[in-house]
């Protein structure tokens, strides 16, 4: 083999990335398709959201919320627990309370995993911290690491990648880059897909090379619907999907007179006032459905790997498994996307 061939082979070498999935619903229950996808593509690697930590205004303290209710046997899965902590929690607490909060979070987490006989090696903390909460959050992470003793991972948003000198780099073993939710949620019918679009992503990817943590990657495998009334955003819903909006008795597709619709964006108009899944829909409300298909996730992966520093045994985590049954993402798609890394 020539020197040039050896060089090219080295440049094209993959780094043994592992597929995994998030599961974020409060009740853990898998259907057969989800079980098979988890087993065949990720060797049963699952990042499971166990509970939230929120700030209670009445009690003036942080409390657990949305604790997982496990209905599907989980012992055969390779589980990494995830705990989400609101930024408001750190806004309201004092730095001196970091140790106490870390102790309580670790205690509850280990009670939950022990009840399910789960052995884990990594725990992930998810928090969209800010400059103002940086000191308290980082103090919490240091204390949690002392109490827990396992490998510790923190989620990293794109703005935290771009401005590390302001937001800081969390004191953890590794980060998890959330490569989605990068655009502005807008009532504009021609606006780019806010889950992922190449143009918005490009504003952040240039900062990846110099980031001071090894990074796993989370990719979007979900959709959401933006309810619009009178050119204003009413709410964002993850539980309203294409099957709901395609019901002809309730909605009609709108694609004329609004210019070019962004990629993987679909507009529907309500025919009448009614309720769906506990949500009030007013006649003439617009719903902008933003989706991610296999092609757009593959594009995101290809764009990301142009700037991402190499890493052996990187986890590529798809958000999220409970959404997969209604999507067009299959085993072959997952394998193709993960292969970029």
DSSP 27-42: EE---HHHHHHHHHHH
Mean pLDDT, rounded, for 59-77: 96
Highest mean pLDDT among 31-35, 151-155, 331-335: 151-155
End-to-end CA distance of the chain: 25
CATH top-level class of 14-222+292-338: alpha beta
Q: Is residue 153 a contact partner of residue 192, using CB atoms and an 8 Å limit?
A: no
Distance CA 285, CA 35 (A): 37
Q: What is the pLDDT of residues 1-27, one digit of tens each?
A: 444 443 343 444 566 899 999 999 999
* Helix or strand (DSSP H, E) at 107: helix 98-115
DSSP symbol at 58: T
Q: Is residue 50 a contact partner of residue 67, using CB atoms and an 8 Å limit?
A: yes
How far, CA to CA in Å, does 26 sit from each of 51, 66, 99, 154, 283? 8, 6, 27, 21, 32
Task: Give this prediction's pTM.
Answer: 0.92
Q: Which residue is it, tokens 């309730």?
A: 250
- Confidence class for position 260, pLDDT limits 50, 70, 90: low
Distance CA 25, CA 52 (A): 11
3-state helix, strand, coil in the chain (%, to 5): 30, 30, 40
Distance CA 313, CA 203 (A): 27
pLDDT at 8: 40
- Ramachandran category for residue 60: left, alpha or beta (phi over 0 → left; psi -120 to 50 → alpha): left
Give the chain's mean pLDDT. Answer: 92
For the residues of 138-162, what is the DSSP string, one character each? HHHHHHHHHHH-SEEEEEE-HHHHH
Distance CA 40, CA 94 (A): 46
Distance CA 124, CA 47 (A): 8
DSSP 3-state of 86 = coil
Percent of the chain with pLDDT over 70: 93
Distance CA 129, CA 122 (A): 21
Q: Which residue is it, tokens 């409970």?
A: 322
Q: What is the pLDDT of residues 288-313, one digit of tens each?
A: 999 999 999 999 999 999 999 999 99
pLDDT at 65 over 50: yes
Phi, psi angle pair for 239, to nearest 5°: -95, 0
Q: In the chain, which segments carry CATH 3.20.20.80? A: 14-222+292-338
> HSE-up of 14 (CA within 13 Å, CB side)?
11
Q: What is the pLDDT of residues 207-248, one digit of tens each?
A: 999 899 999 999 999 999 999 999 999 999 999 998 999 999
């Amino acid at each position: 083999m020539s020197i040039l061939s050896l060089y090219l082979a080295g440049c094209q070498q993959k780094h043994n990335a592992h597929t995994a999935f998030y599961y974020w619903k409060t009740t853990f229950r898998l259907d057969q398709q989800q079980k098979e996808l988890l087993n065949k593509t990720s060797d049963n690697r699952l990042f499971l959201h166990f509970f939230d930590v929120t700030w209670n205004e009445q009690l003036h303290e942080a409390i657990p919320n949305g604790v997982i209710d496990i209905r599907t046997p989980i012992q055969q899965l390779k589980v990494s627990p995830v705990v989400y902590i609101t930024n408001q929690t750190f806004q309201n607490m004092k730095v001196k309370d970091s140790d106490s909060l870390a102790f309580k979070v670790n205690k509850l987490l280990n009670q939950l995993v022990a009840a399910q006989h789960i052995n884990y090696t990594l725990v992930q903390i998810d928090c969209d911290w800010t400059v103002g909460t940086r000191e308290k959050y980082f103090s919490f992470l240091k204390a949690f690491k002392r109490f827990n003793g396992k490998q510790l991972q923190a989620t990293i948003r794109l703005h935290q990648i771009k401005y590390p000198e302001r937001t800081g780099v969390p004191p953890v073993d590794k980060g998890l880059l959330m490569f989605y939710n990068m655009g502005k949620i807008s009532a504009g019918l021609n606006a780019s897909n806010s889950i992922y679009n190449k143009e918005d992503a490009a504003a952040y990817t240039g900062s990846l090379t110099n980031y001071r943590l090894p990074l796993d990657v989370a990719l979007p495998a979900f959709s959401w619907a933006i309810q619009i009334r009178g050119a204003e955003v009413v709410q964002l819903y993850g539980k309203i999907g294409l099957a709901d909006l395609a019901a002809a008795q309730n909605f009609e597709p709108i694609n004329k007179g609004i210019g070019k619709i962004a990629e993987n964006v679909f507009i529907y108009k309500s025919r009448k006032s009614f309720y769906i899944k506990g949500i009030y829909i007013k006649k003439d409300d617009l719903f902008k459905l933003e989706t991610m298909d296999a092609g757009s996730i593959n594009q995101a992966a290809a764009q990301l790997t142009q700037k991402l520093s190499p890493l052996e045994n990187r986890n590529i985590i798809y958000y999220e498994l409970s959404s997969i049954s209604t999507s067009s993402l299959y085993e072959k798609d997952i394998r193709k996307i993960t292969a970029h890394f």
